[in-house]
A and B are shown apart, each in its own frame.
Chain A
Amino acid sequence: MTDRVDADTDTDADAGAALQRAWREERAAVLATVARRLGDLQKAEDAVQEAFAAAAVRWPAQGVPDRPAAWLTTAAWRKALDALRADRFPVPARAPDPQDPPGAAVTDPEPGLDVVAAEDDVLSLILTCCNPALAPEAQVALTLRHVAGLTDRQIAGRFLVPEATLTKRLVRARGKIRDARISFELPDRTRLEERLVEVRAVVYLIFTEGYLASGDEPSVRADLCDEAIWLARQLHRLGPDPETTGLLALLLLQNARAAARRDADGHLVPYDEQDRTLWDADAVEQAKQLLATTGAAPPGPYQLQAAIALLHATAPTPGQVNWTVIAQLYDALARVEPSPVVEVNRALAVGRARGAQHGLAALRPALDDPRLAAYVPLHAAHAELLERAGDPAAAAAWERAAALAGDPEQRAHLTRRAVRAAPGPAGTTG
């Protein structure tokens, strides 16, 4: 087997395409392998950048290597060692001694530095970036920067913070990883499962940042959804866990409705009024197949939410949604992961499945909870159920929700509902 392809007129284009593919598909593995051995994310990232820069020069001239990831890993490792020597830092004890002259031509993969364990390395890199000893916003920034490969500027733009702020946050987080010795090793199985709960939360947080994006830059921020889905796919590939599968399915299902969520003027379209032909049927089908693989164990919160989203996505019309099953799924969700948002949605589902009065009864404990007095979705759900029950108190409930709403668009929507419910005992909307 040759390490080179024949030089021809397409070499430049081939090399360019191979480099792009490697950047997207192999960069995290290369970084992870080097970072794990160095214990220093900053030095590893610098070395990987240099390795890609070297590839951009060499691949068009010498052809694309058979195993681009191995080539890049070896190149990055040598760059890292060169940098360590230049800094006069001792080589860390866990590093193998390659005994190679600096600047040696990269042809064969470094012995012992092959990408055999790259999958474990990528997983450990994700765990390091999402270590709970780091602030949540640092976890998100590190994951997007080092796992997904976004630039500081791209991340800053998506989170609407100045680039300098984002860079400072990353520098500080990498300093803590290095100085406080946040591990790059995979934890044991029990701990790994705990940590994956946190990793999934970070991926979901990235998704919701993109999904809830509003204002002037929805399109820039919306691709955070794609990054989150890419991250969920990596996690799913690295460790098949029913909850990770559930997360990926949930993200696919929520994202499948992206095109229908806003009208031509950019206003949010309520779920019931969305044009279902705009939903991404392929994504829904993918999610359905993923959920079919999760097995018989009691489902966790992401699987339950995905199952609910799937029932919505596969109903031919809003009137044909199986609310009875959805209400049962919310019951289960309220048991495994109780939260105000789950209680509100559970009451709405009960209202649809068994009638508005039952929904109102289900909502009662939340309405009586003083901690939720200013929770907008609770008052909106209360108004919705009152309206369905034909109770004239609905208008006042919509107004209460509108008065509490912080987002102008949401407040306008709630005020319209209040006006619509006001003229008399309605109960005709839906």
Chain B
Amino acid sequence: MLGGPVKYLLLVANAPDAWDDTDARPAEGVDDGVITDWAAYTLALHEAGVLVGGQATHTPDTATSVQVRQGRRLLVDGPFADTKEHLIGYYVIEVPDLDTALDWAARVPNARTGTIEVRPLQEGSDAATVLATGRAPGSA
């Protein structure tokens, strides 16, 4: 067999209508059982020794899409919708605010031909924190 272990990206998708109704989501701090499932899964990955990292994103309606065309930066409020484009990679960056994140996004080489979606990650939801505290964010 050639090479060692391979890193895989697990993309976690959800039906759009699951996010449509704000009222349908559990209130902050309320554990509807789902949160424990996430924590248990993260722990399982860790115990199997396969976990590299992971984090929850905020909802798609917090996304901003960045394109650079003819040297001009174009911003669209929302995730990229063009289904002809497909995911080719990701960066995780830590900066003070969205404006700074968008500046970096505009410098990604394929911003000139493709789209960079900038989505905030939920604070404290990264796998390391979940494992360290033994619980998912928002759980009491």
Residues of A within 8 A of B (CB): 88, 131-135, 138, 171-172, 175-176, 179-183, 185, 187, 191
- Interfacial chain B residues near A176, Cβ < 8 Å: 61-62, 77
- The closest CB in chain A to the CB of B74 belongs to A132
Binding site for A on B (CB under 8 A): 22, 29, 58-59, 61-64, 75, 77-78, 96-99, 102, 118-120
Is A133's CB under 8 angstroms from B22's CB?
A: no
* 8 interchain pairs, CB-CB under 8 A: A134-B77, A135-B77, A135-B78, A175-B61, A176-B77, A180-B62, A180-B98, A183-B98
A133 touching B120, Cβ below 8 Å: no
Whether the Cβ atoms of A138 and B98 lie closer than 8 Å is no
- Given A179-B58, A180-B119, A180-B120, 10 additional A-B pairs, CB 8 A: A131-B99, A133-B98, A134-B77, A135-B77, A175-B59, A176-B61, A176-B62, A179-B120, A183-B96, A187-B99
Shortest Cβ distance from residue A154 to the other chain B in the assembled complex, whole angstroms: 23
- A179: B residues at CB distance < 8 A: 58-59, 62, 120
Quick check: A133 and B64 within 8 Å, CB to CB? yes
A133 touches B61 (CB 8 A): no
> Distance (Å) between the CB of B103 and the closest chain A CB?
9
Name the residue on A nearest B100 (C-beta): A183
Report how many A-B pairs have Cβ atoms within 8 Å: 48
Query: How distant is the Cα of A88 from the Cα of B97 in the complex, in angstroms?
Result: 24
Residue of B nearest to A171 (CB): B22
CB B122 to nearest CB in A, in angstroms, measures: 8
Q: Hey, which chain A residues are within 8 Å of B119, CB to CB? A: 180
Tell me the complex Cα distance, A175–B25, Å.
Answer: 14
Instruction: A175 to B77: give the CA distance in the assembly, Å.
Output: 13
| B119–chain A nearest beta-carbon distance, Å | 8
B-chain residues with CB within 8 Å of residue A88 when the two chains form the complex: 29
Whole-angstrom CA separation of A183 from B120 in the bound complex: 13
**Which residues of chain B have C-beta atoms less than 8 A from A180's C-beta?**
58, 62-64, 98, 118-120
Given contacts A133-B64, A175-B61, A175-B62, contact A181 B77 (CB under 8 A): no
B97 touches A133 (CB 8 A): no
Which of A135, A138, A181 interacts with B120 by CB under 8 Å? Answer: A181
Asked if B61 contacts A172 (CB within 8 A), the reply is yes
- Establish whether residues B97 and A185, one from each chain, have CB atoms under 8 Å apart when the complex forms: yes
Task: Name A181's contact: one of B29, B59, B61, B97 (CB within 8 Å).
Answer: B97
**Known: A172-B61, A175-B61, A180-B58. Is A133-B75 also a contact (CB below 8 A)?**
yes
Residue of B nearest to A138 (CB): B77
Q: How far is the CB of A161 from chain B (nearest CB, A)?
A: 17
Contacting A183 at CB < 8 Å: which of B61, B99, B118? Answer: B99
- Counting chain B CB atoms within 10 Å of each CB, the highest count among A134, A135, A182 belongs to A182
Contact present for B96 and A133 (CB under 8 Å): no
Tell me the complex Cα distance, A131–B64, Å: 11
Contacts of A134 in B (CB 8 A): 77
Distance in angstroms from A206 CB to nearest chain B CB is 18
Distance to closest chain B CB from A175 (angstroms): 7
Nearest chain A CB to B140 CB, angstrom units: 10
Most chain B beta carbons < 10 A, residue from A88, A172, A175, A179:
A179
**Which residues of chain B are within 8 angstroms of A191 by Cβ–Cβ distance?**
99
Known A180-B64, A183-B97; contact A133-B102, beta-carbon cutoff 8 A: yes
- A123: min CB distance to chain B, Å: 15
- A279 CA / B119 CA spacing, docked (Å): 50
B81 to chain A, nearest CB (A): 13
Residues of B within 8 A of A175 (CB): 59, 61-62
CA distance A427 to B58 in the complex (A): 64
A326 → chain B closest CB, angstroms: 30
B29, B58, B59, B77: the one within 8 Å of A133 (CB): B77
Distance between A296 CB and nearest chain B CB, rounded to angstroms = 29
